[in-house]
Structure 1
Amino acid sequence: MKSILCYGDSNTWGFVPGSFGIRERFDRNTRWTGRLQQLLDPAHFYVIEEGLNGRTTNLDYGNKPDGRRGTEFLSAILYTHSPLDLVIIMLGLNDLKKEFNNRTSQHITQGTKEMIEIVRSTNFGPNMQSSPPILIVSSPIPVETKCSNVLDMFEGAKERLQNLADNLKVLVSEYDKDIYFVDAAPHIQLSPVDGIHFDKKAHEQFALLMNDTIKNIFNLSS
């Protein structure tokens, strides 16, 4: 049984687009993590959800409870679910919130590097003898929306995220082995309802992308 940890934000948690305030959540079978479990061989893969609304790469909020900084509890989460055969990290969109002073793709890449170093410093991989392999996912680009919550909160986010895939790809190339990269942007369109969240179609498309990527990582036939 191979264990895959999915470490992300509201798009891993399953936030329904536009449901600010009430925070509706797609059911397990709709969320990409649940669909990925169905697509992979359930007898040989265990997909673990670790999505948190508002999670950043390495930033603390001034007005929210602790725990949303991606680097904060990552070591403990890795230990909790160990041994792990793969850690998927998809974070960065929340770094673009206006309150974080115009963070750019370069800042997100640095935050991602900090998380990579945390994972690589552990021995929570297969057989608890080394660190687990890592898959870095570059987030889809925000889309135009009329949602007032997003327009104010994520002002200028689309432009500041444009170079993220290139920057993350370069980052991943700096490591010698057991770290992989995929750009979700060409495959997924975020919901026009709020411009930043997966709708049902996007969850399905992303699950299919992850399924293909994981099978390539483990050299499995489709």
Structure 2
Amino acid sequence: MQKKRILCFGDSNTWGYDARTKDRFPEEIRWTGVMQEKLGSDYTVIEEGLCGRTTVFEDPLVDGLRGLTYLSPCLRSHGRLDVLILMLGTNDCKERFSATGQNIADGMKRLVCLAQELEVWEEAPKILVVAPAPIRKECESSFAAGEMGICSEKSEKLAKLYQECAKECGCHFFDAASCVQMNSVDYMHLDEEGHSVLGNRLAEELKERYGNHRSS
């Protein structure tokens, strides 16, 4: 029996940024590591997180953060795949991008459509769109305010818009806010408990939706 291959494509909350230490949570703390432990040895969880990554927006201050540019080589590098988890949008809410919630959801749709067209799948494309927990209002007066600007209200709109995107594209949706919220440090990253809860919850989601093992 071959292992199911799950690729997690995201930003600093997939990379595992710890706002308290400004470093990275250990592998076993990050939600991807928690999910791997929960799923067990029949699965391979591939972590592809990058701090600052957006869906489709080119950041004028930092090179290489446009998710759309990297998604194709990333998926082709790691194929063949069983499931792709897309969790992006927090960075798209930065004030400097001047994007609406709908703009951000349309960016997610472009990622989904691109992934569905690539010949990287073991079977039919299976994509889970995850709306990140909203940025809390306190972020706009925290030490992260200079980077993020006014962002929280826009972030709160993403779940509904992502759900509509997933339905339109024929893929699955999960709202991270159903089980976690952002930390009480910079208000835009998961804390250790959040990683644990999200990793366990997504493992349950994967088993429920894609649990049948493929044949060798």
**1:73 matched to which residue of 2?**
70
Task: Map 1:97-116; keep pairs closer than 5 Å.
Answer: 97-101=94-98, 103-116=99-112
Using the TM superposition, give the Cα deviation of residue 151 of structure 1 relative to its aligned residue in structure 2, in angstroms: 2.1
Work out the percentage of aligned pairs sharing the same amino acid: 34
Task: Map 1:15-34; keep pairs closer than 5 Å.
Answer: 15-19=17-21, 23-34=22-33
CA distance, structure 2, for counterparts of residue 175 and residue 143 of structure 1: 29
One-letter amino acid of the structure 1 residue matched with residue 138 of structure 2: T
Among candidates 4, 25, 48, match of residue 2 of structure 1: 4
Among candidates 117, 120, 131, match of residue 121 of structure 1: 117
* SS at 1:73 equivalent: helix
Using the TM superposition, give the Cα deviation of residue 154 of structure 1 relative to its aligned residue in structure 2, in angstroms: 2.3
Matched, 1:143 2:145: no
Task: Map 1:1-222; keep pairs closer than 5 Å.
Answer: 1-19=3-21, 23-42=22-41, 44-65=42-63, 67-101=64-98, 103-126=99-122, 132-145=125-138, 148-176=142-170, 179-219=171-211
Go from structure 1 to structure 2 and tell me whether the alpha carbon gap of 1:193 and 1:80 turns closer, same or farther (over 3 Å shift): same
Using the TM superposition, give the Cα deviation of residue 167 of structure 1 relative to its aligned residue in structure 2, in angstroms: 1.0
One-letter amino acid of the structure 1 residue matched with residue 145 of structure 2: L
Using the TM superposition, give the Cα deviation of residue 204 of structure 1 relative to its aligned residue in structure 2, in angstroms: 0.3
**Contact 1:135 1:180 (8 Å CA) reproduced:** yes
* CA-atom RMSD in angstroms: 1.5
CA distance, structure 2, for counterparts of residue 141 and residue 2 of structure 1: 30
Q: TM-score, normalised by structure 1?
A: 0.89
Using the TM superposition, give the Cα deviation of residue 36 of structure 1 relative to its aligned residue in structure 2, in angstroms: 0.6
Using the TM superposition, give the Cα deviation of residue 99 of structure 1 relative to its aligned residue in structure 2, in angstroms: 1.4
Using the TM superposition, give the Cα deviation of residue 131 of structure 1 relative to its aligned residue in structure 2, in angstroms: 5.3
**Contact 1:98 1:155 (8 Å CA) reproduced:** yes
One-letter amino acid of the structure 2 residue matched with residue 133 of structure 1: K
Using the TM superposition, give the Cα deviation of residue 156 of structure 1 relative to its aligned residue in structure 2, in angstroms: 2.6
* SS at 2:35 equivalent: helix
Using the TM superposition, give the Cα deviation of residue 26 of structure 1 relative to its aligned residue in structure 2, in angstroms: 0.4
**Contact 2:135 2:156 (8 Å CA) reproduced:** no
**Contact 1:121 1:131 (8 Å CA) reproduced:** no
Go from structure 1 to structure 2 and tell me whether the alpha carbon gap of 1:131 and 1:68 turns closer, same or farther (over 3 Å shift): farther
* SS at 2:178 equivalent: coil
* SS at 1:124 equivalent: coil
